[in-house]
Structure 1
Amino acid sequence: MDNRFTFIIGGARSGKTAFALSCAEKLKGTKTYIATGGAFDAEMSERIKRHKLERGNEWATIEEPLDVVKALAGLNPSGAVLIDCITLWLNNFIWKGLSDEAILGEVKRLAEFCPSCGKNVFAVSNEVGGGIVPEHPVARRFRDLSGAANGRLAAFADEVYLMTAGIPLKIK
């Protein structure tokens, strides 16, 4: 699996990251985790600390809430990169005040860059469109942007997996 873009989507706590880590750890070379979320409260700080321990010292961590392409471009071309996660990344753009057009432009930039960047890229995202229609306009916007982003990333990916109950289902 050299220089491939793998997109992994699923519900919360469905095993997306664990699956991505397990695939990436089978590859030779450096391992880099690009974290798009930040420690905005005590629970998230604890979660980040726990996840770093679970990954171990083999994984370098880059915290990049917005310019994921720049973070990817600066990495050594060997090994594997895990972007975790796309939905937190989208949320960061929403709260920075970017328009839907600008956000989807960033998604397109990432989707086009991943397959040709010379690295094995694993991107993890949440499937948030399977539930009820959110009552709040911002939540509906987030759901809609997530669906559009997931579709664009999946279209450019070499492989796409849907995770459910810890089981990966290859859909592309």
Structure 2
Amino acid sequence: MTFLTGGARSGKSSIAVRRAQAVGGPVVLVATGQADDGDVEMADRIARHRAERPAGWRTVEEPTELVTALREVAGPGTDPCPTMVVDCLSLWVANLMARGDDEAPTLEQAHALGRWGAAYPGTVLVVTNEVGSGIVPMHPLPRDYRDRLGRVNATVAGYADLAQLVVAGRTLTLDPVEGT
């Protein structure tokens, strides 16, 4: 499993797309983004991401039940194992928070995702945003989001074979956590 994190518009998704193409074979992209009624900007963003993907890829849109969707798509008997692209954890965490999930079940799901990705016999590419490098938000909700996403990212990255920070379309490989 490869974990790609970085700032907004840093090139994470484009790198994931290129790497999935390079593997060859079938690719399934599990997209967590959703546009609420009237959210034109998010609908445009989703459309741009769709346009970047090769036509032969299968896309599964799942805003909250990420691990369930991955298990169903790449279940037993799937031959060959498709390359799995998860894009992205930052929207997934926002969706879980909007649904009312507390941090503990969110982290349980992050561990389940990490275990699934580490055990998957094919290639898994996970995309997420790094939101903890800026100022401390003034209000409790954005602070909770920043902290929760940071914990989810650290959890999933802990299961990854490769974790990289994407900056300006380039990657910096992150050292593994000592003792793992």
Determine the structure 2 residue equivalent to 1:61.
59
Distance 2:47 2:132 in 1: 29
Distance 2:83 2:136 in 1: 36
Distance 1:58 1:160 in 2: 27
Q: C-alpha displacement at 1:170, in angstroms?
A: 1.4
The alignment-based identity, stated in percent, is 39
Count of residue pairs the alignment pairs up: 168
Query: Tell me, what secondary structure is at the counterpart of 1:26?
Result: helix
Q: Tell whether 2:131 aligns with 1:128.
A: yes
Q: C-alpha displacement at 1:56, in angstroms?
A: 2.5
Distance 1:54 1:11 in 2: 19
Distance 1:151 1:46 in 2: 30
Alignment TM-score, normalising by the size of structure 2: 0.89
Cα distance per residue 1:46-99 (max 9 Å; x no partner):
221222122131211100011111111122352311101001000111111111
Q: Tell whether 2:70 aligns with 1:72.
A: yes
Distance 1:137 1:112 in 2: 30
Determine the structure 2 residue equivalent to 1:94.
97
Cα distance per residue 1:13-57 (max 9 Å; x no partner):
000001111111101221111110102211211221222122131
Determine the structure 2 residue equivalent to 1:155.
158
Aligned partner of 1:113 among 111, 116, 137:
116
**Contact 1:16–1:124 (Cα < 8 Å) also in 2:** yes
**Contact 1:9–1:162 (Cα < 8 Å) also in 2:** yes
Determine the structure 1 residue equivalent to 2:46.
48
Runs of 4+ with deviation above 2 angstroms: none
Flag structure 1 segments of 5+ consecutive residues without an equivalent.
none
- One-letter amino acid matched to 2:15: F
Alignment TM-score, normalising by the size of structure 1: 0.93
Flag structure 2 segments of 5+ consecutive residues without an equivalent.
176-180
Aligned partner of 1:22 among 18, 23, 33:
18
Query: Tell me, what secondary structure is at the counterpart of 1:39?
Result: coil
- One-letter amino acid matched to 2:50: K
Distance 2:109 2:145 in 1: 15
**Contact 1:10–1:162 (Cα < 8 Å) also in 2:** yes
Q: Tell whether 2:163 aligns with 1:167.
A: no
**Contact 1:27–1:79 (Cα < 8 Å) also in 2:** no
Q: Tell whether 2:141 aligns with 1:145.
A: no
**Contact 1:161–1:171 (Cα < 8 Å) also in 2:** yes
Query: Tell me, what secondary structure is at the counterpart of 2:23?
Result: coil
Distance 2:112 2:20 in 1: 23
